[in-house]
Structure 1
Amino acid sequence: MPRIEHQRLRRVAVAALLLAPTAGLLWVPWYAGASPRLTGTPFFYWYQLAWVPGSALCLLAAYALTRKDGRDP
């Protein structure tokens, strides 16, 4: 795969990783309900709470994809 295509694919992956938490949390009508419940907690609350570590993982993956290969910044 040519280097330009590889860089483009990487940028698309980083953009998707950064947009996923935003899209998942800003589309409120999708998760604005009480069911399904998780240990008695309504879906609205546990869905948002699940995005906290999910967002951290997305940011970590985006950071790893944007780092230079083994070189110091």
Structure 2
Amino acid sequence: MDDIAQDPGATSAAKLAEGARPAWELYAAAHNGLTIADLISDLAHLADHLPEQDLDGQATLARAQRDYDEERP
């Protein structure tokens, strides 16, 4: 087994990525040719229009960046 397979951080990040795959697959199927960056941008726009969310799009992106940095292997 190589070192990456033994790294619990890598396993956790891989599991998080797989958890997001269904959302990406639905988006990609509905919007041919767009990228994950397009999905992230559209989700930030959605955050701007969801009154039940604590954060607007900019704050959501900032929080997502912090979470991503903490969860990276």
TM-score by length of 1: 0.38
Q: Higher Cα Rg: structure 1 or 2? A: 1
